[in-house]
Every structure is written in structure tokens, then in C-alpha cells.
Amino acid sequence: MHDSPAASTPYEVLGVSPSASNEELRRAYRLLLRQTHPDVGGNATKFHAVQIAWERVGSPENRAVYDRRRFGEPDLAQSADAYTAPAARGPATKSSLKTRMHGHPGGQARLRYLDLVREWAGRGTVIDDPYAPALIRSAPRPVRHCLAKALAEEATAQLVANLGIGFTAWHDIDTGGQTDKLDHIILGPAGLFGILSEDWGGQVQLRRGELVGDDLEADDRPIHQFEDAARSLTRALKVRFTALIVVLPDGALDEAVSLPKRGRRPMIIGIPRSRLVGVLRGGLAGMERGSFEKVFELRNTLQNGIRFVSA
């Protein structure tokens, strides 16, 4: 989780400006330590995050090291290569036995990141490398989240690409109207799955049917928006999803979460990325697997009906 571009900086955790004095940092740390301590009813996760933040910038020496890396010194733990745009890849051939892949995973999120980072830097500012680690560290959280979102979608696509010739995947799907896009649709022997790939840079939990966390905005409703996007596509193409899957980085969830199927609305599950391949191959407990004929027919319907977002 700490490698995510969306992860909170120590200054964001402590609630101070990067230009705060050492005394302001110390006061903020002591206040948050009292507020988040589990012995007085605080949150253990937040308490731990405050301690980690203080370790990184609490002393003048550590703060100087962090700021040098933040503003330009290469970080040995995070290569800039991790943020560069993926190389173009042609469609899988029959001999490769790869998943049939369509669309551009992470394409819209990367374009959004590039737009936001240029807007943040200021009109007329020349940005030599929009993926330079120092630039990413300095950008506001909404900008960093766009890059983290793109990387999450690309990571999902990399896993899906190796499922095999029995699977077909579509990425960055336009759902029409006012709803969000669908990140991925995966069709295989275990069923038809809609997938949301996300990374907010920290842990989340399911509360009252919605994902919440310290790194989400108060009005964020990712599951609600995900459902709306899937419902729009269901109505347009007359197809039903076996399940909707929220894929998060390992460590973002303490355990897999689920919302049961309600009427015609499919089950929704939230899983760490390391479990995705198993779910797509084996399906869910008690779920019927589709016949080859149904999968073939559904693939034709989707291939003829799916449109992609502009990239």
C-alpha cells in the first residue's frame, strides 16, 4: 500500500502544510496521538499511520531526507519506471493462448491524470516528465489518485490477459448517459463479471453497503456508482452479470467483503487483487457455470454492442 501514488503523505496524515515548522509538526503529532490512541477510544489504524508519519518527518534529519526525495532526489524504493505509460500491445494471437483483450485499460484515467497534473502545475509550465516521482509526490491527492487508478486498472488487465483463450475481456467501456464507465468486463466459463479496479492509497471497509475509508472523500460512493454503470449496460445490451467485483490492492481490505444478490441485482464482492484470478476461473460458491454455447452467444452480443470511452 505504501507504494501507491494515492497514499497519503506524512504531512497529509498529520494535517499540516509541507512548509510547517518543526514545532507545528510536533504539536500536530501530539494532538493526533491523543485523539487516535486506542486506549481512549481512538482508531488503531489511524494511530499507526500517525506514528509512521512521525517517523518519516518527525526529526529534522528524517524530514530533510523525505523532502529531498519528495522534491527531486530519486527514491530507491520506487522507480519512475513504475509510472510510465505501458507499451502498446497488439491483440493476442491464437498461438499465444492469451485472453481475447479489447479496449485500453487505464487509458481514460491516465489522460485524466495528465490533464490534472498540467492544470495543477500551471498554464505555460513545461513538464518534462509527468511521471517523475518527485512531481507525483508533490501533486495534490486527487491528482495522485488518478494515476493510482490507472495503475490499478493496468494491473488487473495484466492478470486477466493470462487467463487463457476461454476468456474475453473488454476495458474502459462506455456505459452511456450520465453513468461512469465500467473498468472491465470479463466473460469466461464461470460467468460474466463486471470489475471496478481501484486504489485509494489506504485501507477501506464496507459500511452500510458502501466502501468507506480515510482516503475517500465524504461524498464518494464507489459501489453505488459501480452498480449504476453496470445497470446501464445491462439495460442497453440485455445481459446479466454473474457478479460485480471491486478489486483493490492487497492490504486495502482486512478480508473479502460481499453484498448479497438482491432480485435482479447481482452480488457485489470486494477482494484483494491476489484473489482475482481464482474468482474469475472458479466462480463463486453455489454459482452455476454457463455452458459453452451460452458463453459463445453472450460473447457475440457483447462484442457487437460494447463501445469504449474516448482515449
The mean pLDDT value for 125-143 works out to 87
**Could you tell me which of 149, 298, 208 has the C-alpha nearest to residue 289?**
298
Paired with 194 in beta bridges are: 185, 244
Tell me the domain boundaries of the chain. Answer: 10-70, 92-101+151-308
The predicted structure's pLDDT at residue 78: 41
- The pTM of the full predicted model, rounded to 2 decimals, is 0.80
Residue 250 cell numbers, joined: 492487497
Of the listed ranges 14-28, 57-71, 195-209, 264-278, the least confidently predicted one is 57-71
Q: Which residues fall within 8 angstroms of residue 174, CB to CB, at 6 or more apart?
A: 181, 307, 308, 309
Cβ 190 vs Cβ 281: under 8 Å: yes
For the chain, the average pLDDT equals 85
CATH superfamily for domain 10-70: DnaJ domain (1.10.287.110)
Distance of CA 60 to the CA centre of its chain: 34
Residue entry with cell 507545528 = 24
Which amino acid is present at 247?
V
The predicted structure's pLDDT at residue 31: 93
How far apart, in whole angstroms, are the C-alpha atoms of residue 82 and residue 43? Answer: 32
Residue 294 predicted with pLDDT over 80: no
The predicted structure's pLDDT at residue 311: 54
Cβ 100 vs Cβ 163: under 8 Å: no
Higher pLDDT, 1 or 102: 102
Cβ 309 vs Cβ 108: under 8 Å: yes
Residue 195 predicted with pLDDT over 90: yes
**Confidence grade of residue 83 (pLDDT, cut at 50, 70, 90):** low
Burial class (CB in 10 A: 0-12, 13-18, 19+), 37: middle
**Confidence grade of residue 197 (pLDDT, cut at 50, 70, 90):** very high
Higher pLDDT, 241 or 293: 241
Q: Where are the beta strands (DSSP E) in 249-306?
A: 257-259, 267-272
Q: Is beta strand 243-248 parallel, antiparallel or unpaired with respect to 267-272?
A: parallel
State pLDDT tens for residues 24-68: 999 999 999 999 998 888 888 888 889 988 998 999 998 888 887
**Confidence grade of residue 1 (pLDDT, cut at 50, 70, 90):** very low
